[in-house]
Amino acid sequence: MTESVTCEYFLKNNHSLKKFIDDNKGEKFVLVTSGGTRVPIEKNTVRFIDNFSTGKRGSSSAEYFLQNDYFVIFFYRDTSLKPFDRSIEKMFDHLKVNNDNMLAFDGIDKTKQQKFLNILSLKNKYKKNLFLISFTELFEYYEALKVILSILRPLKKDVIIYLAAAVSDFYIDEKHMADHKIQSRNGEILLKLTPFKKGDIIELLCGSKENFLVTFKLETDEELLYSKSKKSFEYYNHQVVIGNILSRRSKEVILYTPKEKGELSETIINLSKEETEKNVDIEEKIVKYLCEIHNKYRC
Protein backbone atom coordinates (compact mmCIF):
# COMPACT_ATOMS: atom_id res chain seq x y z
CA MET A 1 0.00 0.00 0.00
CA THR A 2 1.00 3.58 -0.60
CA GLU A 3 1.73 5.30 2.69
CA SER A 4 -0.84 8.05 3.25
CA VAL A 5 -1.14 10.61 6.07
CA THR A 6 -2.96 13.87 6.71
CA CYS A 7 -1.09 17.08 7.50
CA GLU A 8 -2.47 17.02 11.00
CA TYR A 9 -1.04 13.57 11.65
CA PHE A 10 2.21 14.33 9.87
CA LEU A 11 2.88 17.41 12.00
CA LYS A 12 2.74 15.23 15.10
CA ASN A 13 4.50 12.23 13.70
CA ASN A 14 6.81 12.34 10.69
CA HIS A 15 8.89 9.23 11.23
CA SER A 16 7.16 7.36 8.38
CA LEU A 17 8.42 9.90 5.84
CA LYS A 18 11.92 9.62 7.29
CA LYS A 19 11.64 5.84 6.97
CA PHE A 20 10.43 6.14 3.34
CA ILE A 21 13.60 8.11 2.56
CA ASP A 22 15.94 5.88 4.53
CA ASP A 23 14.50 2.74 2.96
CA ASN A 24 15.25 4.11 -0.50
CA LYS A 25 18.67 5.59 0.10
CA GLY A 26 20.65 6.49 -3.02
CA GLU A 27 17.52 6.88 -5.15
CA LYS A 28 16.24 10.08 -6.76
CA PHE A 29 13.36 11.81 -4.99
CA VAL A 30 10.87 14.47 -5.88
CA LEU A 31 8.49 16.46 -3.70
CA VAL A 32 5.41 17.32 -5.75
CA THR A 33 2.97 19.80 -4.20
CA SER A 34 -0.46 19.84 -5.78
CA GLY A 35 -3.90 21.44 -5.61
CA GLY A 36 -5.03 24.72 -4.09
CA THR A 37 -4.93 25.90 -0.49
CA ARG A 38 -8.11 26.94 1.30
CA VAL A 39 -8.33 30.27 3.12
CA PRO A 40 -11.16 30.36 5.69
CA ILE A 41 -13.45 33.38 5.95
CA GLU A 42 -15.01 32.52 9.31
CA LYS A 43 -13.44 30.99 12.43
CA ASN A 44 -16.18 28.36 12.45
CA THR A 45 -15.51 27.79 8.79
CA VAL A 46 -18.47 27.53 6.46
CA ARG A 47 -16.98 29.58 3.64
CA PHE A 48 -13.49 29.97 2.29
CA ILE A 49 -11.54 31.39 -0.60
CA ASP A 50 -10.23 28.76 -2.96
CA ASN A 51 -8.49 28.40 -6.27
CA PHE A 52 -9.57 26.73 -9.49
CA SER A 53 -6.84 24.08 -9.22
CA THR A 54 -8.00 20.49 -9.72
CA GLY A 55 -4.52 19.14 -9.04
CA LYS A 56 -4.25 17.77 -12.57
CA ARG A 57 -0.76 19.19 -13.14
CA GLY A 58 0.56 17.86 -9.85
CA SER A 59 -1.02 14.43 -10.04
CA SER A 60 -0.04 13.72 -13.63
CA SER A 61 3.48 15.06 -13.04
CA ALA A 62 3.79 12.65 -10.10
CA GLU A 63 2.81 9.76 -12.38
CA TYR A 64 5.55 10.64 -14.87
CA PHE A 65 8.18 11.16 -12.18
CA LEU A 66 7.36 7.66 -10.89
CA GLN A 67 7.75 6.28 -14.41
CA ASN A 68 11.10 8.07 -14.63
CA ASP A 69 12.30 6.15 -11.53
CA TYR A 70 11.78 8.88 -8.97
CA PHE A 71 10.43 8.26 -5.48
CA VAL A 72 7.60 10.72 -5.05
CA ILE A 73 6.41 12.57 -1.96
CA PHE A 74 3.02 13.84 -3.07
CA PHE A 75 1.82 16.74 -0.89
CA TYR A 76 -1.70 17.47 -2.06
CA ARG A 77 -4.98 19.16 -1.24
CA ASP A 78 -7.30 16.56 0.27
CA THR A 79 -10.01 17.15 -2.34
CA SER A 80 -7.78 17.25 -5.42
CA LEU A 81 -6.66 14.51 -7.79
CA LYS A 82 -4.29 11.76 -6.74
CA PRO A 83 -1.80 10.12 -9.11
CA PHE A 84 -3.42 7.51 -11.40
CA ASP A 85 -6.86 7.88 -9.78
CA ARG A 86 -7.66 10.78 -12.13
CA SER A 87 -7.65 8.32 -15.02
CA ILE A 88 -9.54 5.45 -13.44
CA GLU A 89 -12.28 7.44 -11.71
CA LYS A 90 -14.55 6.88 -14.67
CA MET A 91 -14.03 3.13 -14.37
CA PHE A 92 -16.83 3.04 -11.77
CA ASP A 93 -19.37 3.82 -14.41
CA HIS A 94 -18.30 0.79 -16.40
CA LEU A 95 -18.18 -1.88 -13.71
CA LYS A 96 -20.76 -4.39 -12.66
CA VAL A 97 -21.00 -7.40 -10.41
CA ASN A 98 -21.36 -10.51 -12.57
CA ASN A 99 -23.16 -13.78 -11.82
CA ASP A 100 -20.12 -15.23 -10.05
CA ASN A 101 -20.19 -12.25 -7.66
CA MET A 102 -17.04 -10.90 -9.29
CA LEU A 103 -16.16 -7.51 -10.74
CA ALA A 104 -16.57 -7.20 -14.49
CA PHE A 105 -16.59 -4.47 -17.09
CA ASP A 106 -19.90 -3.39 -18.53
CA GLY A 107 -20.70 -1.60 -21.74
CA ILE A 108 -17.22 -0.65 -22.94
CA ASP A 109 -15.01 -2.24 -25.56
CA LYS A 110 -11.81 -4.24 -24.99
CA THR A 111 -9.55 -1.29 -25.86
CA LYS A 112 -11.06 0.92 -23.19
CA GLN A 113 -11.05 -1.93 -20.69
CA GLN A 114 -7.37 -2.53 -21.36
CA LYS A 115 -6.63 1.18 -20.83
CA PHE A 116 -8.17 1.05 -17.37
CA LEU A 117 -6.30 -2.17 -16.57
CA ASN A 118 -3.00 -0.64 -17.69
CA ILE A 119 -3.42 2.38 -15.43
CA LEU A 120 -4.42 0.18 -12.51
CA SER A 121 -1.31 -1.91 -13.11
CA LEU A 122 0.85 1.21 -13.08
CA LYS A 123 -0.79 2.39 -9.85
CA ASN A 124 0.05 -0.93 -8.22
CA LYS A 125 3.53 -1.13 -9.71
CA TYR A 126 4.54 2.17 -8.14
CA LYS A 127 2.55 2.14 -4.94
CA LYS A 128 5.59 1.63 -2.74
CA ASN A 129 7.45 4.48 -4.45
CA LEU A 130 4.77 7.00 -3.51
CA PHE A 131 4.18 8.75 -0.19
CA LEU A 132 1.00 10.83 0.22
CA ILE A 133 0.49 13.76 2.59
CA SER A 134 -2.77 15.73 2.33
CA PHE A 135 -3.45 19.34 3.37
CA THR A 136 -6.49 21.60 3.41
CA GLU A 137 -5.67 25.11 4.55
CA LEU A 138 -2.99 27.66 3.74
CA PHE A 139 -1.31 27.75 7.14
CA GLU A 140 -1.36 23.98 7.47
CA TYR A 141 0.32 23.79 4.05
CA TYR A 142 3.15 26.06 5.18
CA GLU A 143 3.65 24.33 8.50
CA ALA A 144 3.95 20.91 6.92
CA LEU A 145 6.00 22.14 3.94
CA LYS A 146 8.56 23.51 6.40
CA VAL A 147 8.91 20.05 7.99
CA ILE A 148 8.98 18.18 4.66
CA LEU A 149 11.70 20.48 3.28
CA SER A 150 13.81 20.05 6.40
CA ILE A 151 13.58 16.26 6.04
CA LEU A 152 14.44 16.38 2.32
CA ARG A 153 17.24 18.95 2.62
CA PRO A 154 20.01 16.41 3.40
CA LEU A 155 19.27 14.62 0.10
CA LYS A 156 20.95 17.60 -1.53
CA LYS A 157 21.12 17.28 -5.32
CA ASP A 158 19.16 14.02 -5.34
CA VAL A 159 15.84 15.71 -4.71
CA ILE A 160 13.64 17.88 -6.91
CA ILE A 161 11.32 20.30 -5.11
CA TYR A 162 8.47 20.70 -7.61
CA LEU A 163 6.02 23.24 -6.22
CA ALA A 164 2.99 22.80 -8.46
CA ALA A 165 0.39 23.64 -5.78
CA ALA A 166 -1.59 26.83 -6.34
CA VAL A 167 -0.92 28.48 -3.01
CA SER A 168 -2.97 31.49 -1.98
CA ASP A 169 -1.08 34.80 -1.88
CA PHE A 170 -3.69 36.11 0.53
CA TYR A 171 -5.33 35.17 3.77
CA ILE A 172 -7.89 36.70 6.06
CA ASP A 173 -6.36 37.85 9.30
CA GLU A 174 -7.98 36.37 12.38
CA LYS A 175 -8.67 39.84 13.71
CA HIS A 176 -10.81 40.55 10.62
CA MET A 177 -12.51 37.18 10.77
CA ALA A 178 -16.10 36.60 11.90
CA ASP A 179 -16.61 34.01 14.63
CA HIS A 180 -19.73 32.56 13.06
CA LYS A 181 -21.19 32.19 9.59
CA ILE A 182 -21.49 35.68 8.11
CA GLN A 183 -25.13 36.72 7.85
CA SER A 184 -26.40 38.21 4.63
CA ARG A 185 -29.28 40.16 6.18
CA ASN A 186 -26.88 42.95 7.11
CA GLY A 187 -26.21 43.89 3.49
CA GLU A 188 -22.88 44.24 1.71
CA ILE A 189 -19.78 42.84 3.36
CA LEU A 190 -16.17 43.86 2.95
CA LEU A 191 -13.59 41.11 3.18
CA LYS A 192 -10.06 42.27 3.92
CA LEU A 193 -7.43 40.08 2.25
CA THR A 194 -3.92 40.31 3.69
CA PRO A 195 -1.04 39.39 1.37
CA PHE A 196 0.99 36.45 2.65
CA LYS A 197 4.45 37.58 3.76
CA LYS A 198 6.82 36.84 0.90
CA GLY A 199 9.71 36.94 3.40
CA ASP A 200 8.50 33.80 5.13
CA ILE A 201 8.38 31.86 1.87
CA ILE A 202 11.79 33.09 0.76
CA GLU A 203 13.30 32.05 4.08
CA LEU A 204 11.61 28.67 3.81
CA LEU A 205 12.98 27.93 0.36
CA CYS A 206 16.40 29.49 0.74
CA GLY A 207 17.29 26.83 3.30
CA SER A 208 17.06 24.21 0.56
CA LYS A 209 19.87 25.66 -1.56
CA GLU A 210 21.31 22.46 -2.95
CA ASN A 211 17.98 20.84 -3.78
CA PHE A 212 16.76 21.24 -7.36
CA LEU A 213 14.01 23.85 -7.14
CA VAL A 214 11.15 24.12 -9.66
CA THR A 215 8.36 26.63 -9.06
CA PHE A 216 5.33 27.69 -11.09
CA LYS A 217 3.88 31.01 -12.15
CA LEU A 218 0.33 31.23 -13.34
CA GLU A 219 -1.00 34.45 -14.82
CA THR A 220 -3.96 35.45 -16.90
CA ASP A 221 -2.11 38.52 -18.14
CA GLU A 222 0.67 37.44 -20.49
CA GLU A 223 2.75 40.54 -20.06
CA LEU A 224 3.40 39.79 -16.41
CA LEU A 225 4.78 36.30 -16.92
CA TYR A 226 8.41 37.07 -17.80
CA SER A 227 8.85 39.86 -15.28
CA LYS A 228 7.30 37.91 -12.43
CA SER A 229 9.33 34.82 -13.25
CA LYS A 230 12.47 36.96 -13.25
CA LYS A 231 11.55 38.22 -9.79
CA SER A 232 11.28 34.62 -8.59
CA PHE A 233 14.91 34.02 -9.53
CA GLU A 234 15.94 37.05 -7.51
CA TYR A 235 14.16 35.72 -4.45
CA TYR A 236 15.08 32.06 -4.43
CA ASN A 237 17.96 29.87 -5.50
CA HIS A 238 16.06 28.45 -8.43
CA GLN A 239 16.70 25.97 -11.19
CA VAL A 240 13.47 26.33 -13.18
CA VAL A 241 10.35 28.48 -13.18
CA ILE A 242 7.48 27.01 -15.19
CA GLY A 243 5.31 29.79 -16.60
CA ASN A 244 1.63 29.22 -17.39
CA ILE A 245 -1.03 31.33 -19.01
CA LEU A 246 -4.35 30.22 -17.52
CA SER A 247 -6.19 29.77 -20.81
CA ARG A 248 -3.63 27.50 -22.48
CA ARG A 249 -1.78 25.90 -19.58
CA SER A 250 -2.71 22.39 -20.64
CA LYS A 251 -1.17 22.84 -24.07
CA GLU A 252 1.80 25.11 -23.54
CA VAL A 253 4.21 26.15 -20.80
CA ILE A 254 7.38 28.21 -20.80
CA LEU A 255 10.35 26.88 -18.86
CA TYR A 256 12.53 29.70 -17.56
CA THR A 257 16.11 28.96 -16.57
CA PRO A 258 18.87 31.46 -15.69
CA LYS A 259 20.89 32.87 -18.63
CA GLU A 260 23.17 35.75 -17.80
CA LYS A 261 23.01 39.18 -16.18
CA GLY A 262 19.79 38.13 -14.47
CA GLU A 263 18.03 37.48 -17.78
CA LEU A 264 16.22 34.20 -18.42
CA SER A 265 16.35 31.52 -21.08
CA GLU A 266 12.93 30.49 -22.31
CA THR A 267 12.12 26.97 -23.47
CA ILE A 268 8.63 26.49 -24.79
CA ILE A 269 7.10 23.06 -24.27
CA ASN A 270 3.87 22.49 -26.11
CA LEU A 271 1.71 19.81 -27.60
CA SER A 272 1.55 19.35 -31.34
CA LYS A 273 -1.83 18.96 -32.99
CA GLU A 274 -1.21 15.23 -33.24
CA GLU A 275 -0.27 14.97 -29.57
CA THR A 276 -3.38 16.91 -28.54
CA GLU A 277 -5.54 14.54 -30.54
CA LYS A 278 -3.87 11.57 -28.88
CA ASN A 279 -4.54 13.12 -25.44
CA VAL A 280 -0.85 13.27 -24.58
CA ASP A 281 -0.34 14.93 -21.17
CA ILE A 282 1.90 17.97 -21.40
CA GLU A 283 3.24 16.90 -17.99
CA GLU A 284 4.85 13.87 -19.65
CA LYS A 285 6.99 16.24 -21.73
CA ILE A 286 7.65 18.68 -18.87
CA VAL A 287 8.82 15.89 -16.56
CA LYS A 288 11.00 14.28 -19.23
CA TYR A 289 12.72 17.62 -19.84
CA LEU A 290 13.19 18.28 -16.13
CA CYS A 291 14.63 14.83 -15.52
CA GLU A 292 17.28 15.56 -18.16
CA ILE A 293 18.27 18.87 -16.57
CA HIS A 294 18.18 17.31 -13.11
CA ASN A 295 20.47 14.47 -14.21
CA LYS A 296 23.03 17.00 -15.45
CA TYR A 297 22.66 18.99 -12.22
CA ARG A 298 23.42 15.89 -10.14
CA CYS A 299 26.76 15.23 -11.90
Give residues in contact with a second copy (CB under 8 A).
1-2, 41-42, 44-52, 54, 79, 85, 88, 91-93, 95-97, 101-107, 117, 120-121, 123-124, 166, 168-170, 179-185, 187-196, 218-221, 224, 246-247
Taking residue 239's Cβ as centre, other Cβ atoms within 10 Å add up to 19
Q: What is the largest CA-CA distance in the chain?
A: 70
Shortest approach of a second copy to residue 41 CB, angstroms? 7
Q: Which is nearer to a second copy, 185 or 296 (CB)?
A: 185
Q: Which is nearer to a second copy, 108 or 147 (CB)?
A: 108
Integer Cα distance of 44 and 31 in angstroms: 32
3-class secondary-structure state, position 227: helix
DSSP state of 196: P
DSSP state of 245: E
Integer Cα distance of 267 and 257 in angstroms: 8
Q: Which is nearer to a second copy, 22 or 221 (CB)?
A: 221
Shortest approach of a second copy to residue 170 CB, angstroms? 6
Integer Cα distance of 236 and 254 in angstroms: 18
What's the start-to-end Cα distance of the chain, in Å?
33
Shortest approach of a second copy to residue 251 CB, angstroms? 17
Q: Which is nearer to a second copy, 88 or 151 (CB)?
A: 88
Q: Which is nearer to a second copy, 52 or 277 (CB)?
A: 52
Q: Which is nearer to a second copy, 195 or 262 (CB)?
A: 195
Q: Which residues pair with 75 in a beta bridge?
A: 33, 133
Measured CA angle at 40 (ends 39, 46), to 5 deg: 140
Q: Which is nearer to a second copy, 176 or 259 (CB)?
A: 176
Integer Cα distance of 231 and 131 in angstroms: 32
Q: Which is nearer to a second copy, 48 or 289 (CB)?
A: 48
Shortest approach of a second copy to residue 201 CB, angstroms? 11
Q: Tell me if 34 sits within 8 A of 59, measured CB to CB.
A: yes
CA distances from 123 to 32, 33, 66 (A): 17, 19, 10
Least Cα distance to 239 among 220, 203, 267 occurs for 267
Q: Tell me if 201 sits within 8 A of 210, measured CB to CB.
A: no
